[in-house]
A and B are shown apart, each in its own frame.
Chain A
Amino acid sequence: MSEGEFLLVAVLAVPALGALAVAATPRDRAARIVGTVAAALTLVAAVALVGGRATGWSAYVPPDAAGAVRPWHTVDRPWVPGLDLRFHLGVDGISWPLLVLTALLTLLCCGYTLWRVPGGGDGRALVALLLVVEVGILGTFLALDLVLFFLFFEVVLLPMYAIIVGWGGDGTDPASHDARRRAGRKFALYTLFGSVLLLVGVYVVVAAAGTADIVALTGGTELSRTTQLVAFTLLALAFAVKSPLWPLHSWLPDAHTQAPTVGSVLLAGVLLKMGTYGLIRVAVAVAPEGARWAAPVLGVLAVAAILVGSLVCLAQTELKRLIAYSSVGHMGFVLLGVATLTATGIQAALIGNVAHGIITGLLFFLAGAIKDRAHTGELSELSGLRETAPRLSGLLAFAAVASLGLPGLAGFWGEAFAVVAAVESGGALWTTLAVLAAIGGALTAAYLLRLLRRVTHGEPTPVVAALGPGLAGAELVAWVPLVLLALAVGLAPTLVLGVAEAPVEALVGVLR
């Protein structure tokens, strides 16, 4: 087993074994420490994957080189030959930034849980579930076998449900319990609906091509046009539920409002990325003909998501709900980038993915901190945070400004280049979409500034007046990496784009 293979297996095995170890550790605090250590080791393994690859940081590989997917490292072992399932993992420039983001956010969440366990259940089980969620997400990003991809896609569902229902909401009264059970069930049923469509789509492809190997299938050369249209429709629907794309998004605000802080962070930060990543890696790559056919529809829906998301945000009165709806808009930009099917668009989608993961993760941490302190998320009851908690309010302002896409911060690149890619695609439709998306960007700025005006400025309400200015050390430790990353990716987008350039060129090469 080479070093690369070892790292790939370690990225999945460490959190999985970590979850078992956490469950087996009798003492609550010790268990949480074990979990945090496992998450840290996972991050190390994930970062180390970048070493030992054949190409340089931003080397250009001609698109006619063999294979459209050239993973840096792979593991390929048979698992269930009767179901065309192989244990085939691989990492390349498209998946690596997301892997690192996932490992980082999980570590921050586990570390945060060391400090504060949301009410409702014991911290041990929560950390174990966080690690299981991490296994599912990392597996999805690593899988190079369609059936394995589906399998990991499903792994995430129930642990996330358990996190929402078990540790979500605030208060232990029956009404709150019912609310989070409803939110959790809505999340589970919507996402399962997506996954079963994915299952059918996967086997449509496998039945037609006779293989489930994503490397071999990329380019869709072996599939007939009809198969590609059917497969793309099913797969795109599946990923649209997960992303979520308007109008399949209605599970998201409820799930976020009820989920505990760490659940929200993972949910928004990386869980949604499984949908957009799947769209690029699976749907577009395997059925490019179908993608070209459906691209205008996808583009229109993406822009609708941007506009609807921003308009709904303008009318929101609850902090977490507002941030949740803002995700709908941001993911709309990502999907618009994918829908253009150009190198610029897909690059924009990838960096948009990462940026949204960093910024929204931070926003949910901050919203959670505000709700934990004030015990309310109603904007009307929160104002004047600047007066009593200047540091918290400053961080919130930073995150909001990053989220609205200020140049120099991470959020800018994805949204700007999605619009640029749409303009470059030419034609009346794409130009209109680009203009509408740009208007959506302006609306994004409007609602985030409204949020800031309502929460940080003005006279302190009685709730806010009672707050202390201090921040816990654990909170700073959880937030600072995200703040720095938002700056770093904003100033040097090549951190993400450099590694992604070659694989995206190769992918776009087979799309033509």
Chain B
Amino acid sequence: MSDSSLVQAVDHVALLPAYLAAGTAVLVLLVDLLVARPLATVVTAATGAVATAVGAAVVGSGAERRTFCVGPDCSYVFGGRAALVAALVALLVLGVLALSGPLLRAGNTPVGEYCFLLACSMTGGVVLGAAGDLITLIVAVEVLTLPLYVLVGLRRGSLASAEAAVTFFVVSVVATTLTLLGAALLYAVTGGLHLERLGTLLADEALLDLPLTTVAVTLVVAGLAFKVAAVPFHAWAPATYDGAPLPVAAYLSTASKLGGVIALLAVVRHALPSEVTGPLLAVVAALTMTVGNLVALRQRRTVRLLAWSSVAQAGYILAPLGALALTADADARTAAYAAALAYAVFFVLLELAAFAGVVALRPAGADGGSLDDLRGAARRHPWVGAGLAFALIGLAGLPPGLAGLFAKVTVVRSLLGGGAGWLALVVAINAVIGLAYYLRAAALLYAPAGEVTAPAVRPARAVAVALAVATVVALAVGFAPQIVLDLVGS
């Protein structure tokens, strides 16, 4: 592969997970057209998700693979971390499919389109982790997000759902525009698009001092901050989550949020100068967790509570990156990225479990309802209630939710290792605020039912299985968090 060659050699093995994900989408479409049985469609999508996860794990277990290279710069780098992201997204899609059982059976949602869109979104997530240049990155993020505009609005006859879709669409398009503008400006300043190349180019002091560079970096970061719903770009999230069907809200707050985090990590890690992004992200992280937690305190609707809490959690994920500007030490920086990713992994696991618990306790196809609808639910369904309570406690970061506790510990450790003690204190105080509402929600599950008796619902089997699997995995990584720390560090 020389510079003069016009035909690029393409490493198809590296692309295997992406092929599998895209193939799943096509296959789902065909099965829906030709077989036209909802069950077959869902099974195809689920099988495809499993195949993608396995493919990613297999390819990722080997050495790092690079393809679409121009000289030393490659647009597609599939290493251990990319494999982790790909496998995680695929498994989250599988989990969301399981959560969708009651929704799809209720008959208001077109099954084929639903599964197809989900598989498309999965393709974006799979490519995202491997993106090596800004264009691939932005396209991957868009492929991840685009199907969601439709999925959010899929609840037929629901005005809230349509409103949520429009809000999400408008905000997301604006965010993409910002990122694109930033990328274009960066190209104008440096002449490079590959993340690693940008990193070396921007190490140049003269280039860094240009006001245009700062503007470009700020725009890229701000655009991606929209995707993770970081303050001040968070306002869309609660409305969108609450309007969307429950499984889609689960997808938004897990896989989609993970995608945003990965994109942000990729640009901050490789491309952008940490002198600019560090302080910016520190302030964004502190604001995000504080605002998210404070507003969550006042929520009365279940999904809104989870949405605001997920805003706050994004703050914890971003926090380690805030220490970047202070550390010149390469090891401490790697630790900071690993900490952010580790927190994200712990978080999506617990968040999926929390949504699974809510879906299981609500009637088929219903929205999240108000918190009072969950009153006494754990007395009616001890196992499901315990699972949801466990997930909430884990999100609060307390034993027995050891996964969440270790997530917080990882963040605090990396912050103090990086010398950002003030941010560690902000994280600590926020954990206390967070406990107030997580505890309220969890205690409500065990409260006496009172005079309002919700109709007894039998949790769908697929949902219960998803909840059980997520809970067991959360328990396992709670006792052996080193597994996650090793995976994100590879």
Spell out A's residues near B (CB within 8 Å).
79-84, 136, 147, 150-151, 154-155, 157-158, 161, 165-166, 172, 177, 181, 184-185, 188-189, 192-193, 196-197, 199-200, 203-204, 206-207, 230
Is A203 within 8 A of B424, CB to CB?
A: yes
B376-412 to A contact mask, C-beta < 8 Å, 1/0: 0000000000000000010000111000011011101
Cβ distance A174 to chain B, nearest Cβ, rounded Å: 8
Is B421 within 8 A of A192, CB to CB?
A: no
Whole-angstrom CA separation of A161 from B428 in the bound complex = 20
Question: Counting CB contacts under 8 A, is B425 at the interface?
Answer: yes
Is A158 within 8 A of B393, CB to CB?
A: yes
Is B428 within 8 A of A82, CB to CB?
A: no
Among the stretches B24-32, B222-230, B480-488, the one at the interface with A is B480-488
Choose one: B393, B398, B416; the contact of A207 (CB below 8 Å).
Answer: B416
Question: Counting CB contacts under 8 A, is B469 at the interface?
Answer: no
Is B400 within 8 A of A197, CB to CB?
A: no
Is A83 within 8 A of B399, CB to CB?
A: no
Among the stretches B50-58, B104-112, B432-440, the one at the interface with A is B432-440
Choose one: B409, B429, B436, B440; the contact of A83 (CB below 8 Å).
Answer: B409
Find the A residue at minimum CB distance from B417. Answer: A207
Choose one: B399, B425, B443, B485; the contact of A154 (CB below 8 Å).
Answer: B399
Residues in B whose Cβ lies below 8 Å from that of A80 = 406, 480-482, 485
Whole-angstrom CA separation of A79 from B482 in the bound complex = 8
Q: Give the number of chain B interface residues (Cβ < 8 Å).
A: 34
Find the A residue at minimum CB distance from B396. Answer: A192
Is A193 within 8 A of B421, CB to CB?
A: no
Interface residues of B in 144-199 (CB under 8 A from A): none
Whole-angstrom CA separation of A147 from B416 in the bound complex = 14
Is B405 within 8 A of A151, CB to CB?
A: yes
Residues in B whose Cβ lies below 8 Å from that of A81 = 482
Whole-angstrom CA separation of A84 from B416 in the bound complex = 13
Question: Counting CB contacts under 8 A, is B489 at the interface?
Answer: yes
Residues in B whose Cβ lies below 8 Å from that of A157 = 398-399
B214-243 to A contact mask, C-beta < 8 Å, 1/0: 000000000000000000000000000000
Is B428 within 8 A of A197, CB to CB?
A: yes
Cβ distance A207 to chain B, nearest Cβ, rounded Å: 4
Cβ distance A184 to chain B, nearest Cβ, rounded Å: 8
* A185/B439 contact (C-beta < 8 A), A82-B485, A177-B448, A204-B416 known: yes
* A193/B485 contact (C-beta < 8 A), A157-B398, A165-B443, A204-B416 known: no
Is B409 within 8 A of A147, CB to CB?
A: yes
Question: Counting CB contacts under 8 A, is B431 at the interface?
Answer: yes
Interface residues of B in 90-105 (CB under 8 A from A): none
Residues in B whose Cβ lies below 8 Å from that of A193 = 429, 432
Choose one: B399, B448, B481; the contact of A155 (CB below 8 Å).
Answer: B399
Choose one: A84, A158, A200; the contact of B424 (CB below 8 Å).
Answer: A200
**Majority secondary structure, A binding face:** helix
Whole-angstrom CA separation of A270 from B481 in the bound complex = 30
* A196/B481 contact (C-beta < 8 A), A82-B489, A189-B436 known: no
Is A199 within 8 A of B481, CB to CB?
A: no
Whole-angstrom CA separation of A82 from B338 in the bound complex = 11
Whole-angstrom CA separation of A181 from B398 in the bound complex = 19
Residues in A whose Cβ lies below 8 Å from that of B393 = 158
Select the residue from B400, B409, B424 with max chain A CB neighbours within 10 A.
Answer: B409
Whole-angstrom CA separation of A193 from B436 in the bound complex = 11
Question: Counting CB contacts under 8 A, is B446 at the interface?
Answer: yes
Additional A-B contact list (10), CB under 8 Å, known A192-B432, A192-B435 = A83-B406, A83-B485, A136-B399, A172-B448, A184-B443, A196-B432, A199-B408, A203-B413, A207-B413, A230-B421
Select the residue from B399, B400, B480 with max chain A CB neighbours within 10 A.
Answer: B399
Interface residues of B in 455-490 (CB under 8 A from A): 480-482, 485-486, 489
Give 5 A-B contacts (CB < 8 Å), ordered by A residue: A84-B413, A147-B409, A177-B447, A188-B435, A203-B416
Cβ distance A497 to chain B, nearest Cβ, rounded Å: 34
Is A189 within 8 A of B428, CB to CB?
A: no
Residues in A whose Cβ lies below 8 Å from that of B443 = 165, 181, 184
* A199/B439 contact (C-beta < 8 A), A82-B485, A158-B400, A207-B417 known: no
Cβ distance A145 to chain B, nearest Cβ, rounded Å: 13
Whole-angstrom CA separation of A79 from B408 in the bound complex = 17
Whole-angstrom CA separation of A166 from B447 in the bound complex = 9
Cβ distance B28 to chain A, nearest Cβ, rounded Å: 39
* A188/B482 contact (C-beta < 8 A), A151-B399, A200-B416 known: no
Whole-angstrom CA separation of A48 from B409 in the bound complex = 34
Interface residues of B in 267-293 (CB under 8 A from A): none
Whole-angstrom CA separation of A193 from B425 in the bound complex = 11
Find the A residue at minimum CB distance from B419. Answer: A207
Whole-angstrom CA separation of A157 from B439 in the bound complex = 12
Whole-angstrom CA separation of A165 from B389 in the bound complex = 15
Whole-angstrom CA separation of A192 from B431 in the bound complex = 8
Find the B residue at minimum CB distance from A193. Answer: B432
Cβ distance A183 to chain B, nearest Cβ, rounded Å: 13
Residues in A whose Cβ lies below 8 Å from that of B435 = 188-189, 192
Whole-angstrom CA separation of A483 from B37 in the bound complex = 75
Residues in A whose Cβ lies below 8 Å from that of B436 = 185, 189
Whole-angstrom CA separation of A81 from B481 in the bound complex = 10
Is A83 within 8 A of B410, CB to CB?
A: yes
Residues in B whose Cβ lies below 8 Å from that of A82 = 410, 481-482, 485-486, 489
7 tightest A-B CB contacts, nearest first: A196-B428, A82-B485, A203-B416, A207-B416, A155-B399, A207-B417, A193-B432
Cβ distance A181 to chain B, nearest Cβ, rounded Å: 7
Is B432 within 8 A of A206, CB to CB?
A: no
Select the residue from A150, A157, A188 with max chain B CB neighbours within 10 A.
Answer: A188
Whole-angstrom CA separation of A177 from B449 in the bound complex = 13
Choose one: A177, A185, A204, A206; the contact of B421 (CB below 8 Å).
Answer: A204
Cβ distance A150 to chain B, nearest Cβ, rounded Å: 8
B58-89 to A contact mask, C-beta < 8 Å, 1/0: 00000000000000000000000000000000
Residues in A whose Cβ lies below 8 Å from that of B432 = 189, 192-193, 196
